[in-house]
Chains A and B, each alone.
Chain A
Amino acid sequence: MRRVHALLPAVLVGSLAAAAAGCITLIPVSSHVDRGADVTRYRTYAWGPADALPVTDPRLRDNPFFIDDLHGAIDSELQSRGLLRATSERADLLVHFHAAVNERLEVPARAERFRECAGQDCPATVTTFEAGTLVIDVLDTWSNSVVWRGWAEHRIEDMLDDPQLVGRRVRDAVHRMMERLPLAAEARSRAQAPEVTP
Chain B
Amino acid sequence: MDKRLKINGQIRDFGDQLPPTLSELLKLLHIDQATVVAEVDGRIIPRTAFGQTELKDDAVIELVRFVGGG
Partners in one complex: no
